[in-house]
């Protein structure tokens, strides 16, 4: 096989050079388009179920919410582990599936199970599917500072909720945007117990009236003159005056309005936390990415979106500030490995020249480095790998082996060419090159194969260890 490859390559030298050049160009283009991350894809298919149970203690949340959800998830096809966290008014259940399973099919199965679980939940409480998020989670923290003298924390939070968050969610690759801090606007109804008692209004009746407020209802259809008319009661409203004038009950033919029984006003929701920036109130947005999304490219898209939004900020709101960028850590880590790769190539070139004392031989040997690295980019694309510390580490390890094999072959060819020139009847150059290459090719291939065997166990590592180290083996081989 080696004999045929070598002789064909020597006969079709121009074709080999042309194909190599095309591979280098295509590899360079592919390399520029590849995603960059700090680690390989370590996302095990996991579905997150979140249930809000306001007012419940952790013990009640565990018994009434978490336990029924966990029980329904156990035994589902492909499920490997179910974990949960129960806190004050919040239940989070993590359902992990087998590696390689389809996350969208897993979510569909869980949605079907949740329809049965909701019947066991307390009234008004139901689990919700969390977004498809990456194990790397949070890629950005964006602060939105504001001057309290010019704009209220409530207005800043509304801008973050209704302008910034929807804008960021339109960027492909963003899984979730969570605003933190500020004040969440809500209607606050503060009851007047003396008025309730004096008018004989039960609290349950008032709660029922509030529950039905702001909802449109249907009254069926009316047929008249050959036409059908839809009857609706338009009750949806965003005016606080409509809420204050809500009819709670009727006594002696007189309507009793909500404003007679309670004080109704706009007020911030009770805080469970807060956020600030440089000693000033601020709203901070936590941006999470989807699995397999390019963190660096995604950060650039978010930066462009923030630049556009900065042109139309409300008065008193300062330009968004980036408190944390995972992309900076990724670029720093990848740059360190790239520098090691570059320094290694330079040292190899210097050492080759010092030992061979031949510029031509050194340059020929060094061509193996860019050619192999750029062709490896095509392999990465085929296996859906990213540029990360593990793949770059594998390439760094392989540089020495690449140049070593090239040096052995090139040095033997040059030696045979020198000996051939001293003969009385020199043989054809192509024949000498072919024979010199075949002399060492088997030894080079078998020696390289033995080293490759060292990396084979990486491909059988189970779980997250295999996902982490397998790209290193692929990059080296």
pLDDT at 306 over 90: yes
Q: What is the pLDDT of residue 27?
A: 86
Q: What is the pLDDT of residue 201?
A: 84
Q: What is the pLDDT of residue 294?
A: 83
Is it true that 2-33+358-476 and 44-131 share their CATH fold? no
Lowest mean pLDDT among 175-189, 223-237, 356-370: 356-370
Q: What is the pLDDT of residue 428?
A: 80
Residue 239: name the closest of 263, 270, 213, 216 by CA.
Answer: 213
Model pLDDT for residues 408-439, shown as the tens digit of each residue? 777 788 788 888 887 777 888 777 777 887 88
Q: What is the pLDDT of residue 170?
A: 93
Homologous superfamily of domain range 44-131:
Multidrug efflux transporter AcrB pore domain (3.30.70.1430)
Q: What is the pLDDT of residue 364?
A: 73
Which two tokens mark 246?
Answer: 């809500």
Q: What is the C-alpha separation between 349 and 367, in angstroms, rounded? A: 11
Helix ranges, 256-357 (H): 258-261, 295-310, 326-356
pLDDT at 25 over 70: yes
Q: Are 467 and 99 in contact (CB under 8 A)?
A: yes
Lowest mean pLDDT among 39-48, 133-142, 165-174, 317-326: 133-142
Q: What is the pLDDT of residue 163?
A: 93
Model pLDDT for residues 97-145, shown as the tens digit of each residue? 988 888 889 989 998 888 888 888 888 888 888 888 766 678 899 999 9
pLDDT at 301 over 80: yes
Which H or E element spans position 192? none
Q: What is the pLDDT of residue 139?
A: 87
Q: What is the pLDDT of residue 136?
A: 65
Q: Are 86 and 64 in contact (CB under 8 A)?
A: no
pLDDT at 229 over 90: no
Helix ranges, 79-131 (H): 103-117
Q: What is the pLDDT of residue 372?
A: 81
Torsion of CA 185, 183, 268, 241, to 10 degrees: -30
Q: Are 59 and 150 in contact (CB under 8 A)?
A: no
**How would residue 1 be classed by pLDDT, with cut points 50, 70 and 90?**
low
Mean of pLDDT values over 225-239:
80
Q: What is the pLDDT of residue 283?
A: 92
3-state helix, strand, coil in the chain (%, to 5): 55, 20, 25
Q: What is the pLDDT of residue 135?
A: 63
Which two tokens mark 47?
Answer: 């579905």
Q: What is the C-alpha separation between 140 and 296, in angstroms, rounded? A: 11
Which two tokens mark 112?
Answer: 């079907």
**How would residue 179 be classed by pLDDT, with cut points 50, 70 and 90?**
very high
Homologous superfamily of domain range 2-33+358-476:
Multidrug efflux transporter AcrB transmembrane domain (1.20.1640.10)
Q: How far is CA 115 from CA 132, 229, 275, 449, in A?
A: 20, 35, 37, 55
Residue 210: name the closest of 186, 228, 229 by CA.
Answer: 186
Q: What is the pLDDT of residue 302?
A: 93
Domain residue extents for the chain: 2-33+358-476, 44-131, 134-184+269-325, 187-268
Q: Is 354 helix (H, G, I), strand (E, B) or coil?
A: helix
pTM: 0.74
Q: Looking at the domain 187-268, which fold is it? A: 3.30.2090
Report the residue count for the chain: 477
Q: What is the pLDDT of residue 167?
A: 93
Q: Are 40 and 389 in contact (CB under 8 A)?
A: no
pLDDT at 367 over 80: no
- To the nearest whole percent, how much of the chain has pLDDT over 90? 11
Q: Looking at the domain 134-184+269-325, which fold is it? A: Alpha-Beta Plaits (3.30.70)
Mean of pLDDT values over 382-400:
82
Mean of pLDDT values over 264-269:
87
């Amino acid at each position: 096989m080696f004999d045929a490859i070598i002789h064909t390559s020597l006969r079709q030298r121009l074709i080999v050079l042309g194909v190599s050049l095309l591979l280098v160009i295509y590899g360079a283009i592919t390399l520029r388009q590849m995603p960059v991350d700090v680690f390989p894809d370590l996302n095990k298919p996991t579905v997150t179920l979140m249930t809000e149970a306001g007012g419940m203690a952790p013990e009640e949340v565990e018994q009434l919410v978490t336990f029924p959800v966990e029980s329904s998830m156990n035994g589902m096809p492909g499920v490997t582990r179910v974990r949960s966290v129960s806190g004050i008014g919040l239940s989070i259940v993590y359902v992990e599936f087998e590696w390689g399973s389809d996350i969208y099919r897993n979510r569909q199965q869980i949605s079907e199970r949740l329809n049965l679980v909701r019947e066991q939940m307390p009234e008004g409480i139901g689990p919700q599917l969390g977004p498809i998020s990456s194990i790397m989670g949070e890629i950005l923290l964006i602060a939105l500072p504001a001057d309290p003298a010019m704009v209220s924390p409530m207005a800043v939070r509304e801008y973050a909720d209704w302008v910034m968050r929807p804008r960021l969610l339109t960027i492909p690759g963003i899984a979730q945007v969570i605003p933190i801090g500020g004040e969440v606007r809500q209607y606050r109804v503060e009851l007047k117990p003396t008025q309730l008692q004096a008018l004989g209004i039960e609290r349950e009746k008032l709660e029922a009236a509030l529950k039905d407020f702001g909802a449109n209802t249907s009254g069926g259809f009316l047929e008249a003159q050959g036409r059908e008319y839809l009857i609706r009661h338009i009750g949806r409203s965003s005016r606080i005056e409509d809420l204050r004038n809500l009819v709670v009950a009727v006594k002696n033919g007189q309507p009793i309005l909500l404003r007679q029984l309670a004080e109704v006003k706009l007020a911030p929701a009770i805080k469970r936390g807060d956020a600030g920036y440089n000693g000033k109130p601020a709203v901070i947005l936590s941006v999470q990415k989807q699995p397999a999304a390019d963190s660096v490219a995604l950060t650039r898209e978010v930066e462009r979106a923030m630049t556009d939004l900065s042109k139309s900020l409300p008065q008193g709101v300062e330009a968004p500030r980036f408190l944390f960028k995972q992309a900076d850590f990724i670029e720093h880590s990848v740059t360190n490995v790239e520098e090691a790769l570059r320094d290694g190539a330079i040292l190899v070139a210097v050492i080759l020249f010092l030992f061979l004392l031949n510029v031509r031989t050194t340059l020929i040997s060094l061509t193996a480095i860019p050619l192999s690295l750029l062709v490896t980019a095509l392999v990465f694309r085929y296996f859906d790998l990213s540029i990360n510390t593990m793949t770059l580490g594998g390439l760094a390890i392989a540089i020495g082996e690449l140049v070593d094999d090239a040096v052995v072959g090139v040095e033997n060819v040059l030696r045979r060419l020198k000996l051939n020139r001293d003969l009385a009847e020199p043989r054809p150059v192509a024949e000498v090159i072919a024979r010199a290459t075949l002399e060492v090719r088997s030894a080079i291939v078998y020696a390289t194969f033995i080293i490759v065997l060292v990396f084979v166990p990486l491909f059988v590592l189970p779980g997250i260890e295999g996902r982490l180290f397998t790209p290193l083996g692929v990059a080296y081989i």
